[in-house]
Amino acid sequence: MISRARLTAFILSAALLTAPAFAEVIGQNVPALPLTAERVASLPEADRAAWTTYIQTSKTLQAADKAALTAEREGLTAVPKPSPHGDSAKTMPLKNAAEWYATPEARSVADTIVSFQTPAGGWGKNMLRNVPARQRGQSYTGDNVSAHLKPGDNDQPAEGGWNYVGTFDNGATTTELKFLARVGEALPGAEGDVYRKAVLRGLEYMLTAQFPNGGWPQVFPLQGGYHDAVTYNDDALGDVTEVLTFAAEGRNGFGFVTQGLRNRARTAVDRAVECILLTQVRIDGKLTVWGQQHDALTLEPTSARNYEPPSLASAESAGLLVYLMQIKNPSPRIVASVHAGVAWLKAAALHDVAWIKIPDDRVLQPQPGAPLLWSRYYDFKTGKPIFGDRDKSIHDTVTEISQERRRGYSWYNTTPQKALDAYAKWSQTHP
């Protein structure tokens, strides 16, 4: 029987076969720029007014959120502890039978969701919803602060105790809206009004949060840093456009939405598609794919957390391509975008290798016949995989980053296969 140490050594040796001959630090991750009035002032005069209004709206809404919480806490002898963190989605099932959403169990979850809606209309992330409703003075969300923070960290909150207060990250806000819409549909009478009212507030929040160029930030009201970027990470923009599409078409529980709001939702979705097309990266004049997030003003790919550098992102790009292929009667620009994006994914695929777990680590190992694999990030100039670490260093091989990051992040994935599968059918009618 082979020893654990020998097994680890063998697999690491195999992984080196797929690594560059001379691994090196190839750069440092530069923090993303926030969306500020100073940056807007540098725009062409015709573009400034919309962005200035957007920033002021964000500030006004954030001030109102804070004022509401402060008012609640006046006279309290103790501030309630934050609600428990956890996998939000598991506590808000969306595929149960229609009648379940009228049950006391579903209504209890819905009541908790409504209680945690911010005055601006959104929700925080990573919060259990099958828990008691929010208490007076209780935070709208937890701190969501990384356990690895150091001075100068890209993920350092701009303000302690105020983090992700209204976000689209990790399915937040969009999942709450989809759940509430189902409960509202199951309770068509007066008892369902409270849930439908919360949905309408949430839809208005999403429309207000949309950038003038059609994208959405990760956090709104704006929080600063990379949270202000057009965010494709974890399908954030895709989740928002899905909900707005439901609202525009009056389905999946959104049948009560007025025609006027439906029209606004449809316009917002159309603007989002335009943003997707504008942010598709061109290299040497040729369309490729997208970054994980793009600067709100320049639309160039930008960084996020310390170990997430500006790059071409395979998984997020696959999600955007699948979304574009679902559009009925796509324009020539959309068709060209899809063909180019899929061509890039095919060329970037890694063959006959697998990203596997070993004792205390993960490695890239040769494996003939393995499913196609993609690196999470690709360099703009070389087209080769790149990897980041908590110290903001960028590497050309995964073996050179810290073990903690190697084990704790999805550096390789098979997600783009879903785009290739969809393309096989889509391309037959869109040659």
- Three-state secondary structure call for residue 68: helix
Single out the catalytic residue among 29, 126, 170, 233.
170
Q: Which amino acid is at 429?
A: T
Cα gap 37→51, rounded to integer Å: 8
CATH code, residues 40-141+161-261: 1.50.10.20
Report pLDDT for 143.
81
Q: Do domains 1-29+306-431 and 40-141+161-261 have the same CATH topology?
A: yes
Report pLDDT for 161.
82
Domain assignments of the chain as residue spans, ordered by start: 1-29+306-431, 40-141+161-261
Single out the catalytic residue among 305, 362, 376, 406.
305
C-alpha distances out from residue 106 to 91, 113, 187, 201, Å:
10, 11, 11, 20
Report pLDDT for 158.
82
Report pLDDT for 144.
85
Cα gap 311→327, rounded to integer Å: 26
- Positions of the chain with pLDDT lower than 70, given as ranges: 1-23
We find that the CATH architecture of domain 1-29+306-431 is Alpha/alpha barrel (1.50)
CB 211, CB 223: distance < 8 Å: no
Task: List Cβ neighbours of 17 (8 Å cut-off, separation of 6 or more).
Answer: 366
Task: List Cβ neighbours of 281 (8 Å cut-off, separation of 6 or more).
Answer: 287, 288, 289, 290, 291, 301, 312, 380
Report pLDDT for 24.
75
305 is a catalytic site residue: yes
48 is a catalytic site residue: no
| Closest listed residue to residue 294, CA positions, set 5, 76, 33, 55 | 33
Cα gap 254→98, rounded to integer Å: 14
Task: List Cβ neighbours of 276 (8 Å cut-off, separation of 6 or more).
Answer: 237, 290, 320, 323, 324, 337
Cα gap 256→128, rounded to integer Å: 27
Any idea of the CA torsion for 139, 37, 313, 398, to the nearest 10 degrees? -80
Q: Which amino acid is at 353?
A: V
- Three-state secondary structure call for residue 301: strand
**pTM assigned to the model:** 0.92
Q: What is the DSSP string of 89-140?
A: GGGS-SSS-GGGGGSHHHHHHHHHHHHT--TTS---SSB-SSSPPPPTT--S
CB 185, CB 255: distance < 8 Å: yes
Give the CA angle between residues 189, 191, 197 to the nearest 5°.
95
Beta bridge partners of 385: 378
